[in-house]
Homo-oligomer: A and B are copies of this chain.
């Protein structure tokens, strides 16, 4: 069997690949948050044994990868395709994380949508017969992201109320063409959506329109409604973006309902942890997916989840040149029922 085209942006997997295992690694602050005890590994500092934050991020991602392999019961040499990317310039966290692994590697750049993008492509390639085992993974690190995208940390810049806190975290998922669930049954591939937001301190507002477009496409392409899902989770819209997305759907007469939440809103206790509008970064959706969502599905608490990671595709240069911030959102349906 092969993939089936559903409408303009969605595909149903012919033989939905199974999530065999996943690994999640986070920093100290994430470990102290509401989901702290979900993660496989919580670091006690930001360094992960390395001398720079960029190297630390790479080491953290490598740790998540090895944890995922271990939990999936596969050796890294069995992985036939690896999809990874991150926020750092030239995606160096990912490339350096797998430098010694000799695994066929496709580098991605989807900003904070990378966990869904990598999961979608890994699932599509396995479904197409291109191997039987693949890995999808991503990371972000507060310190490496802040100094690259915003200000040197030592500068101590004031954060605006709509600002989000980049999650120090990584997630890695091992997919197999056969196995027990959860399964990747559908993907909705996002397109670039630019609603004209220029405030780099308000990523939620910049990405919410992309989430609205992709979720709308998903519902329209598959004929499903929000009520068909036990949970709908956006990646890192945060508190501001989550409200905007809810409002955008409400205007169309659709309630996302109590099953809807955002990983960026879930990972921190905003009031106690001073994280303003919530978490962000590739590692936000990735660590919540691997630490909380997939285990909860396996435990029978959720049967069908729509995982929608959102990314903002600007750079410091485009912002300095006065450009608005394009967003993207890829949605992946995870289901305990393989449906075939």
- Which A positions have Cβ atoms within 8 angstroms of B? 2-5, 8-9, 11, 14, 51-52, 54-55, 80-81, 85, 87-92, 95-96, 98-111, 117, 120-121, 124-125, 127-132, 148, 189-192, 194, 313-318, 321, 323, 326, 328
Contacts and interface: CB of A to CB of B under 8 A. Distances in A.
A314 B96 CA distance: 9
B318 A92 contact: yes
B96 A129 contact: no
A48 B8 CA distance: 32
A105 B260 CA distance: 25
Give 8 nearest A-B pairs by CB, closest first.
A128-B128, A2-B129, A104-B189, A3-B129, A90-B315, A95-B313, A109-B109, A3-B130
Given A3-B129, A124-B125, A189 B313 contact: no
A90 B328 CA distance: 13
Contacts of A92: 313-315, 317-318
A54 B121 contact: no
Contacts of A328: 95, 105, 107
Q: Is the interface of A mostly helix, strand, loop or mixed?
A: loop
Contact of A107 (B102, B105, B313, B323): B313
Give the number of copies in the complex: 2
Nearest to A87: B90
Given A90-B313, A104-B190, A326-B99, A5 B318 contact: no
9 contacts: A11-B130, A89-B315, A89-B316, A96-B313, A99-B326, A100-B194, A101-B191, A107-B117, A121-B121
A152 to B, nearest CB: 13
Given A3-B129, A95-B192, A100-B194, 18 more contacts: A2-B129, A3-B125, A14-B129, A51-B321, A55-B321, A88-B315, A90-B109, A96-B326, A104-B191, A105-B328, A106-B110, A106-B120, A107-B108, A107-B110, A108-B108, A109-B109, A124-B130, A127-B128
Contact of A89 (B2, B89, B132, B191): B89
Contacts of A148: 317
A108 B51 CA distance: 28
B128 A317 contact: no
A121 B85 CA distance: 15
Contact of A314 (B8, B90, B102, B318): B90
